[in-house]
Amino acid sequence: MSDELRARSIRGQLLTFTDRTLTDPADLTRHLDRSREIGYSVSDSDYLDGWQ
């Protein structure tokens, strides 16, 4: 994801799907930075409860 697209996405409304959904822009930015650094990301019930 380009930096421009990422910035536009984070500026928009961040919806809550579960209690693990990242909805704070700073938290999401840190998560995305870390994902970019290590080359992958893991979803752990942040969209659907109980799904990884």
Distance of CA 33 to the CA centre of its chain: 10
How far are the Cα atoms of 14, 35, 51 from residue 30, in angstroms, in the given order?
A: 15, 9, 22
Report the pLDDT value the prediction gives residue 9, as an integer from 0 to 100. 85
Number of domains observed in the structure of the chain: 1
3 pLDDT more than 70: yes
User: Domain limits at 33?
Assistant: 1-52
CB atoms within 10 A of CB 45: 14
Residue with structure tokens 């799907």?
A: 17
Give the model's pLDDT for residue 23: 92
The predicted-structure confidence for 17-50, as pLDDT tens digits, reads as follows: 998 899 999 999 999 999 999 999 988 878 767 6
| Model confidence, pTM | 0.74
Q: How many helices (H) and strands (E) does the chain have?
A: 2, 0
Q: Is the pLDDT score of 52 beyond 60?
A: no
